[in-house]
Amino acid sequence: MQVANQIRDILTEQFTPTELQIIDDLSKHAGHSGADPRGESHFSVLVVSDKFEGENRVNRQRLVYGALDALLKDRVHALALKTMTPSEYDTALANRG
pLDDT, tens digit (0-9, with 9 covering 90-100), for 5-52: 999 999 999 999 999 999 987 655 455 555 555 555 778 999 999 999
- CA–CA separation, 81 and 60 (whole Å): 9
Q: Given the DSSP bridges, would you call strands 42-48 and 78-84 parallel, antiparallel or unpaired?
A: parallel
Domains in the chain: ranges and CATH: 3-96 (3.30.300.90)
pLDDT, tens digit (0-9, with 9 covering 90-100), for 52-74: 999 999 999 999 999 999 998 88
Q: For 35, how many CA atoms within 13 A lie in the half-sphere containing its CB?
A: 12
Q: Which of 26, 6, 12, 1 is nearest to 72 (CA)?
A: 6
**Alpha carbon separation from 30 to 22, 34, 40, 78 (Å, rounded):** 19, 9, 11, 13
